[in-house]
Structure 1
Amino acid sequence: MEHPIRIMAPAAALLVSGVLTAGCAAPEPLPEVTQGARPSGPAASKGTQGPAAAAPSSATLGGAGSACALPVSFALAAKWEPEAIEDPENPEFAALTRQGPATVRCEVDAKPAGHVGYLRVWTAGKGPARAALEGFVKAEEKSTGVTYRETKAGALPATEVTYTVTDELLEEPKEERAFAVATPKGTVIVHLGGLDTAEHRAMLPAYELAKTTAKAL
């Protein structure tokens, strides 16, 4: 079964988000989502999309006064809404907040921008970024087609991974990706999932914006 924190369907994603970011508060009504642009034509076919352009920036996450205290900062795409994970070290929620060596610290919701998905920021202990990212992906059940490459996140050396997971509700594979950087305060993993592959690809500009603007704090 896919890791519980992954987006399985819009309602499930909102339920998980409510548990992690709002404690025991009553869930808010399901918001209306206006669908954003989705890839079409040849780029929408599996495995044929080119590099995504970065999205316009609206704010910075991770720095002083931002929604989430993180070892890195990066620019957020317009209308994406960040929220810190409440009590991520609580063992009661370990199935939702832990994946391999990493603990989720922040999630950035794409619904206000018209997409169904999140950027999630995870942290792990000090060490090579690739080792932490490999442990993160290995803990993802039913991951296939895993490909790693060395790259840059801003000016920082980074490791990036692309892979697919099989969604049991949709009964089809969907693309996911993440990049990891090592900082003096530990490794940071920024992950992009999505309801399905089309949503994932539509959100790539926000992911690329985070990657190209990342800075260690």
Structure 2
Amino acid sequence: MEDTEDTGVAAKAGTVGAPGSPCPMPVTFDLAVDWKPDPVENDPDDEFATLFGQGPVSLVCEIDAKPAGNIAFLRVWVGADAGADTRKALEAFVADGAKDRKDEAYRETKAGKFAATEVTYLNTNEFLDEPKKERAFAVSTPKGVVIVDLGGFDSEEHEQMLPVYELARKSLRTS
């Protein structure tokens, strides 16, 4: 993964989110080198539909780092109503996705030109060998709340992928 030393943001290699991209979404952001977006198709009537929802949002795109040599991904979730409170949406997202967590910290920030809420926490569920760092941000768009979260194999991988997450957060714009 290439990284620009002065900003802690990964080098741009493309975009995702605009109409015609692999994952059309309410937002567009820059992608890091070799990260591959894949749309997630979810039929709400399917017996496995609940696997694609977390809190008030549904998974619409998974951006895979395996082609870049890492076991990590950015996931993009969309849902809730336009204008919904991003902190409340993010709190519900975290509560549904990490039943056992600690050191949960929320802060108001920016994602591109959007006002955003960001959360960091340690996922501590029984299936993990050790607590794992997690991070996500939420923005409200005219088409609903969008949550972007960074997933990785463990906390070390999470730290290595932060420049990719920062690239997405800082380059976020309306599609």
Same topology, TM > 0.5? yes
- 1:146 maps to which residue? 104
2:67 to 80, 100, 112: 112
Taking every aligned residue pair, what percent have the same amino acid on both sides? 50
User: What TM-score do you get using the length of structure 1 for normalisation?
Assistant: 0.73
Cα distance, 1:90 vs structure 2: 4.0
Cα deviations across residues 130-151 of structure 1 (Å, max 9, x unaligned)?
1111110111211221100000
Large movers: runs of 4+ above 6 Å = none
Q: Judging changes above 3 Å, is the alpha-carbon distance between structure 1 residues 89 and 157 closer, same or farther for their aligned structure 2 residues?
A: same
Kept in 2: contact 1:89–1:103 (CA 8 A): no
**Where do 1:132-211 residues align within 5 Å?**
132-139=89-96, 140-166=98-124, 168-211=126-169
Cα distance, 1:100 vs structure 2: 1.1
Cα deviations across residues 85-136 of structure 1 (Å, max 9, x unaligned)?
0225344123320111111000000111111011000012221211111110
The two structures, once aligned, show a CA RMSD in angstroms of 1.8
Larger radius of gyration: 1
Kept in 2: contact 1:124–1:132 (CA 8 A): no
Structure 2: 5+ residue stretches without partners: none
User: What TM-score do you get using the length of structure 2 for normalisation?
Assistant: 0.90
- 1:83 maps to which residue? 38
Q: Judging changes above 3 Å, is the alpha-carbon distance between structure 1 residues 92 and 177 closer, same or farther for their aligned structure 2 residues?
A: same
Kept in 2: contact 1:52–1:204 (CA 8 A): no
Tell me the secondary structure at the aligned position of residue 64 of structure 1.
coil
Tell me the secondary structure at the aligned position of residue 152 of structure 2.
coil
In structure 2, how many angstroms separate the alpha carbons of the residues matched to 1:52 and 1:205? 9
**Where do 1:114-133 residues align within 5 Å?**
114-126=69-81, 127-133=84-90
Structure 1: 5+ residue stretches without partners: 1-35, 38-50
The alignment of Structure 1 onto Structure 2 pairs a total of residues equal to: 169
